[in-house]
Structure 1
Amino acid sequence: MPEAQPDPSTVRELLAAAVETLGGSERAGQIQMAEAVGRAFSEEEHLLVQAGTGTGKSLAYLVPSLLHDQRVVVATATLALQHQLVERDIPRLVDAVKGRGLDTSFAVLKGRSNYACLHRIREGVPDDQGTLQMDVSIGDMATKVLELRAWAEKQAEDDGTGERDFAPRHNDREWRQVSVTHRDCLGAAKCPFGQECFAERAREKAQRSHVIVTNHSLLAIDAIEGIPMIPEYDAVVIDEAHELVARVTQAATDELASSDVERAARRSRRYVEGDEAEELADAADTLRVAMIEASPGRFETLPADLHDALVLVRDAARSTLSAYPKKQGGGKDETSADAGLQQARGSVQEIFQIAERMAANTEHDVLWLSEAATFNEQSRVPSRLHVAPLQVWGPMRDKLLTEKTVVFTSATLKLGGDFDSVAGSLGLKPAERGEAERTEDVLPWQGVDVGSPFDYGKQGILYVARHLPPPGRDGLGQAQLDEIVELVDAADGRALGLFSSRRAAEAAAEVVRVRLPHLTTLAQGDAQLPELAAQFVSDPHTVLFGTLSLWQGLDVPGDTCQLVLIDRIPFPRPDDPLMSARQRAADKAGGNGFMQVAATHAALLLAQGAGRLIRTTTDRGVVAVLDPRLATARYGRFLQASLPPMWPTSDPAVVRQALKRLSGLV
């Protein structure tokens, strides 16, 4: 039965106290959202909330989460938001509501590889021959890994969390020397350092907490794949919900290369006495040949040779697993202390599961072969097989939405002017909205847009360059490059360029460097993204051009960014295996695959990209889209309705004059 709804006056009172503690001011949209979240929890009704940047949505869902009488999970897509929640918002909210009798306990929960592993640090890991080692033979890397090991030991001594985010600066390869994946973990019961384990302590703290902060991937593994990762909870808030489908898809995607099979076979030779490990190695060779002979791309029908090779790998992996030492009398594995055995067996188990899934090649999966790539003489990426779910709305609907109350929130949930596109992709069918009673086939939901504190009509201009030719397949044409130079010149730098490809970003950067040498022009890849962002913010006469990670991950309020350039509508590539399969499936089901998949994908990215411009109430500027189809194509209205309501124009002279005024050139 639904619980009693919290008194709206209590929600408003606690929200006001929290906002005051954080040094901000309440906004009508924030109050509206907090009350809507409270109603959703009490009435067990799913909720989609669009809350613009600057609304203060984190407090708006944290306050009703504390008031809820059962555990609430908050899932984010990015580490930045996770840090904001656990380091700033929740602690200050806890201070603001002291003495009110609320359970204010909270914890952060991440995947196991995000924590340092004391077993790996103290005893090393077996190589393919079973020899314990730490891969720290390379000078600078050795120094860094030793620093990470010392840090982890200090964390254990000081009762720290051992989380990667608080470790000394390092790269992925260095971190792998002090951590393990869930597959390689021995488990608390078998590990000699289980009582000290950072990951286990994080889970224990989560068991005692009222609010758990985690990420989309861990939520998907727990709720959708059915692998218990999170303590039992009643409701979940999914922030940055526009990224959920992509993160769930990523969590349910598997890859396989012949080298993976070879490695599993090598590790098995130490523990398997028969010929099974050699047969697995032979299967790897067969798979390699089949992958070489297959054409890269998506498989409508799995080639016979490749199917047979996958079956051979599957069967050889199954036989190898059966040949591993069995449990002895007394109920304990005779090699329970041998980390190498468990980890080697785990690698074979993973090979078996992936090969079995790929060989089945069901209508619910999409299978494709990536093309091998060579970057230089030392760097070559071999081809790999990939398998991903055709759609994720079904599993989300069946395994999450039917069991829990879910609140989805983001600054971009209304695409084409309503919530229907996003709701459908999440497993909430638009036709069922407004149904009063929850049944097996009906999941009631509401969509609420609480607005934005920004006056987009006065703060921003949406410029669509409809005089330009449509973009071609060969990248930027001369007309587009000239337009970019003129706009950047009018803005005197202060420009963020969002491009559909690395090649286009680099081509534009090169032209701007030559024709506007007085400006500093940066391109993604010139340095690490944080370094590029810092330089962009520090100097207003700087231009930064890049691709997808800038579309969604960059927050640069103020005068440093007064022009956001978008080279073309960001439709998925026609040869994208997963997107093309999803589009075709939507057509086959009687829908409009282009609108449901390609246009929805583009609308979401456009909204995120345009959102880079206005980050505070004092920001001003122009979003310039150099793709005339936004104004001329039939789907353009859907895309424009997904963008913030800026003042529209297609007059280049008006836009250049506005940019010159903003930059102080006139």
Structure 2
Amino acid sequence: MTTTYAIVDIETTGTDPKVDRMIQFGCVLVENQKIVGRFSTDINPSQMISRQIQSLTQISNRQVQKAPYFEDIAQTIYNLLQDTVFVAHNIHFDYHFLNHELVRCGMPRLTIAGIDTVELAQIFLPTESSYRLNDLAESLGIIHENPHQAASDAEVTADLFLRIEELAKALPLVTIEKIATLSSVTSHQTSDYIKQLALEMKQNPTELATDLMVVNQIALKKKEVTLFEQPLYEITYPKTKKQKQRLFQERLSYRPQQGKLMNLIHKHVTNEDEKDLLIEASTGMGKTMGYLLPLSYLATPEKPVVISTASILLQQQLIEEDIPKLNQLLDYKIQATVIKGKGNYIDLQRFKATLDAPIVQKQYGLYQMRLLVWLTQTETGDFGELNLTSLNHLLFEEIKHRGVDYLSKKQAFYQEDFLVHLNQKMTQSNFLIVNHAFLAQETRRETPYLPNSQILMIDEAHHLPEVMEQVTNQFFDTEVFQRQLRHLGEDGQLFDTLRAMLSQEAEILQLFELYQTILSEISEIQEEIFAEWLLPFQVKEELFVTRDDLNLSNQGKKNLKKLYLYYEESLLLQQQIAAACFRHNEQWLAREKIVYGKALIFFEELSAQASFVKQWFTSWEPRYVHKLYIYGSQNTVRMQLIDLEAAILPNTAWYPRYEKILYVGGTLKVATFTNYFAQRLGIPDAKLKVIPPPYHYDEQVRLFVLNEQVAIKELSIYEYVDFIVRTLSPILEQQKESTLVLFTSHDILQKVYYRMQMSFLENGREIIAQGIGGSREKLLKRFRHRKGAVLFGADSFWQGVDLPGDTLQLLIVTRLPFDHPQRPMIEAKSRYLDEQGDNYFKKEALPKASLKLRQGLGRLIRSEEDRGVMVVLDSRLIHSSYGQKLQQSLPKDLAIHERSVAEMLPEIAQFFKRDYPKEEIEADSPQHSVIIEPSKGVKSGE
């Protein structure tokens, strides 16, 4: 019997079926993997459609005015859907809302089977970054002519449903059968659909694809290690312009700035005596290719070039775009491997254990099914390919890798283990790619992961100091530790289960009982130490602690020594227990292996705690800042240790391993602050070379500064938000170009957003805001694909955002980008520099703000074709005592125009070559305006 699938989408006046009504119904009928019919209609909701919904759906009140009421078509829709399987993208909404409307009109409720394409997509499209219908359509190349209109959405959902079925049927039978057994957690009858697919595939079996294999009932993509091919002849780096052009042929265009960067890098590595070289190279000049090419002539698997980037996105760009492009030119190929921390990879043996003893919980099961499909696609086992925002779910805690040392060579998956494969690839790679956080963590690893080598290349080097500081900023919370111990000791939890697993070994069981006792002692001694010490302080107080503050009694000092001793004993016992567990690992059942993995995680956490607590109580050099947050009557605290010299590279374990280190970034030079960046990294003698950008700022950019002088520091938050809204609104209302608005505070950003977003929606223009509606990448994707969009961003949006051409034309800086002086890290640095006799504002705050202002401008101009306007709403850029220094950090050929909002609007319109309606200019007479010419003082304007 042929199954008819009714792919349905509805549009409504809101999300509450008790008060809202349908305004459109769309349905596409599918049989035998083909579309066989369509039905759609507008519906008169008998209520006004809000401007927000009109803007979202492009359905107006006028459009539905003459449409039928739902009462008129309820019977038609009910009859249409009878004897079908209801399919929708987020079935919970459509099915429920439609049923509510049918009942309201006196019709029976639908009782037909239902399938959710959101869940199907999450399972069978495991690497998608978003499961919104629009995003899936774009990713899969499905044409979506009218998003948020029922007929179009239903058509796209039908195409998506057919595409998913095609992908599912292409999977190995062992995979789809396992998914079928796990699918009971899915919505409505989605599980029945998957089981029917599995049955059909079993009845019509096909051969396993040649690039797949089945290991212990899990289908995996085959992995290969390509042997590195050494050049059979001597290769010579192309130093001259003609040699480079001959190499590039028609595939790459020669750029003078890029050629200069290449030669600088090659000369430093091959001829110069100095270890460090800093190079400022602007975005848009081919910086990545500029360092890859010269280094490729020097890299071998025995001495690989290590590249450290600022983000995972840049790592992907290197592997997927830049290196393949360069390999088209080279007779010998670059072989590069991305390296991440072990917890970023799946442990196949532990994953198999979760399949053998699954937890019946919806998200747990959805992730398991998603991973089964992903394992037929991935060669790396890197969770990053799944594009998840977080790996905090229980399943990932259970299956993330603990390291090769925890694997048994007898395991079925050992030869196919992803970390084993990664290590094999590293031996055949002449480029190793990491991110700055991985590089910073090398100092804290007992066994270094990166090899000694000749060259370390640090890309986006201006991010390195902050990353180094973040990685070494350590915390420990005694209250969290106490709660953890109580939880782990409860019936059925880790300690109870582990005790049962060790019950046959009396000696090890005795050690485990002793271990639990010592953990209790550690917790109690922590309380005793802080009970005495914190007696004078108030509840919920935050403290900077000095060595003089650590005034313990004799008993307190004894407790501290006892605490160190208990930590030592606990770590020794952990080693013995872990060794005993490892011996039994092969004999344990699936769930017992998962428990063993959880125990190892706890052991690792306690080791880190012991190291941190001892360091907190013993490291009192000026570079360390000790902080405590006191919770109150429980004598529990949050301890924090900040290393203010974390970014001093000679202090790291990895700095001495490299003969040459290159630091390349778009903003490394700070005018008037000689060698600021090198000093910050602790390499003050390092040379800085600046490659002038290929841009003509006098032609490509207009920079306006608001001439309304506001004492920002004296305003309340409400007054400041009111000022921003009052100033920002007319600019955004009149200028239709794609706009990025940069804030220095997330709190202010959100307050401004909530004040403005509704009125903009009602006028058909959406404001996209950081922290509201998705990850940074998702927001940027939405911004890129919506002409004339407005994006509010802070922090990370000041740098590392690529919005070329028309994607960004107007940049608005709400406030000069100084770090908030009350942030804990800023407070700590300020105290430290004061003690060193330095002024924090002059030595750190001002140069960092200068760099960030340049980085903001870099969002606007990223190629020789870009044109744009930058508006600064903070008059301190001109009128403050330090404004001149900030101006000097901007390009020399960029003039600054001081204007009122009313004055700048027509000038912006003229720059973008469009007519500006004079009647829309404010009626009041224009205020005095000023132009600051490049490299000159202030003069009167017209």
Question: Shared fold by TM > 0.5?
Answer: yes
1:217–1:449 Cα change, 3 Å:
same
In the alignment, which residue of structure 1 is the partner of 2:726?
482
Stretch deviating more after TM superposition (494-503 or 530-539): 530-539
Q: What amino acid maps onto 2:905 in structure 1? A: R
What SS does the corresponding residue of 2:805 show, helix, strand or coil? coil
Q: TM-score, normalised by structure 1?
A: 0.83
Give the secondary structure class of the aligned counterpart of 2:456. Answer: strand
**1-side partners of 2:244 and 2:854: how far apart?**
29
Deviation per CA, 1:189-233, whole angstroms, max 9, x where unpaired?
678444332123213312221111111122222257664111222
Aligned length: 623
Aligned to 2:313: 80
Alpha carbons of 1:181 and 1:19: their partners in 2 closer, same or farther (altered >3 Å)? farther
**Offset at 1:81?**
1.0
The residue number in structure 1 matching 2:909 is 660
* Pairwise CA distance, 1:65: 1.1
* Cα gap change, 1:397 to 1:202, in 2 (>3 Å): same
Give the equivalent residue in structure 1 for 2:569.
Answer: 319
Paired AA for residue 9 in structure 1: P
Distance 1:278 1:392, change over 3 A: closer
Helix, strand or coil at the partner of 2:415: coil
Rounded Cα–Cα distance in structure 1 between residues aligned with 2:639 and 2:570: 22
TM-score, normalised with respect to structure 2: 0.60
Choose 271-280 or 228-237, whichever is displaced more. Answer: 271-280
Counterparts of 1:82-231 in structure 2, within 5 Å, are: 82-98=315-331, 102=332, 104-124=334-354, 136-139=359-362, 141-151=363-373, 153-154=375-376, 160-167=379-386, 171-174=390-393, 177=396, 186-188=405-407, 192=411, 193-222=413-442, 227-231=447-451
Query: 2:822 & 2:495 partners in 1: Cα distance?
Result: 38
Residues 285, 335 of structure 1: alpha-carbon distance in 2 compared, 3 angstrom cutoff: farther
1:413 is matched with: 668
In structure 2, the CA distance between the partners of 1:506 and 1:390, relative to structure 1 (3 Å rule), is same
Change (3 A) 1:333 1:114: closer
CA distance in 2, matches of 1:286, 1:504: 42
Distance 1:244 1:255 in 2: 21
Once the two structures are superposed, residues 398-451 of structure 1 have per-residue CA deviations (whole angstroms, 9 ceiling, x without a partner) of: 64444421111111111225661111111211xx3xxxxxxxxxxxx3211112
Aligned-residue offset at 1:236: 0.7
Where in structure 2 are the equivalents of 1:261-340 lying within 5 Å? 261-262=481-482, 263=484, 266=488, 270=499, 272-274=512-514, 275-283=517-525, 293=539, 295-300=541-546, 314-324=564-574, 326=576, 339=597
Percent identity for Structure 1 against Structure 2: 23
Cα distance in 2 between the residues matched to 1:104 and 1:656: 51
Code of the aligned partner of 1:96: L
Q: What's the secondary structure of 1:611's corresponding residue?
A: helix
Q: Which segment drifts farther, 39-48 or 580-589?
A: 580-589
Whole-angstrom distance in 2 between the partners of 1:264 and 1:112: 26
The aligned residue for residue 394 of structure 1 is 648
Query: 1:14-54: per-residue Cα shift (whole Å, max 9, x none)?
Result: 75467557x44221110000000111111253211111110
Which piece of structure 1 moves more, 517-526 or 418-427? 517-526
- The aligned amino acid for 1:41 is V
Q: Does 1:63 align with 2:313?
A: no
1:126-175: CA deviation from partner (whole Å, max 9, x where unpaired): xxxxxx976x5431x123321343145435xx7x1111232375643348
> Could you tell which deviates more after superposition, 299-308 or 342-351?
299-308
Aligned-partner SS, 2:704: strand
Cα deviation, residue 586, structure 1: 2.4
Asked whether the equivalents of residues 305 and 432 of structure 2 are also in contact (C-alpha less than 8 Å), the reply is yes
Tell me the SS of whatever aligns to 2:371: helix
1:233 to 426, 430, 453: 453
Q: Which has the larger radius of gyration?
A: 2
Question: Per-residue CA shift, 1:581-614, capped at 9, x if unaligned?
Answer: 2233223323332222222332232222221111
CA offsets per residue over residues 450-481 of structure 1, 9 Å max, x none? 12232222111222224331323633254443
**Given residue 655 of structure 1, which amino acid in structure 2 is its aligned partner?**
M
Q: Offset of 1:557 from its aligned partner?
A: 2.0
1:12 Cα shift? 5.2
Give the alignment of 1:185-584 within 5 angstroms: 186-188=405-407, 192=411, 193-222=413-442, 227-262=447-482, 263=484, 266=488, 270=499, 272-274=512-514, 275-283=517-525, 293=539, 295-300=541-546, 314-324=564-574, 326=576, 339=597, 341-363=599-621, 364-369=623-628, 384-396=638-650, 399-404=653-658, 405-416=660-671, 420-429=675-684, 432=685, 445-472=686-713, 474-475=716-717, 476=720, 478-492=722-736, 494-513=738-757, 517-518=762-763, 519-528=765-774, 529-584=776-831
Give the match for residue 128 of structure 1. Answer: none
Q: Which amino acid aligns with 2:692?
A: G
Instruction: Identify which range, 167-176 or 345-354, moves more after superposition.
Output: 167-176
2:28 match:
none
Cα contact 1:415–1:639 (8 A) shared by 2: no
What secondary structure is seen at the aligned counterpart in 2 of 1:173? coil
Amino acid at match of 1:167: L
Tell me: higher relative CO, structure 1 or 2? Use CA pairs within 8 A at least 6 residues apart.
1
CA contact (8 A) 2:364 2:395 kept: no
CA distance in 2, matches of 1:394, 1:484: 41
Q: In structure 1, how many angstroms separate the alpha carbons of the residues matched to 2:904 and 2:873?
A: 13
- Name whichever of 315-324 and 201-210 sits farther off: 315-324
SS of alignment partner, residue 546 of structure 1: strand
Counterpart contact for 1:114–1:163, Cα < 8 Å:
yes
- Paired amino acid for 1:635: Y
Q: AA paired with 1:138?
A: Q
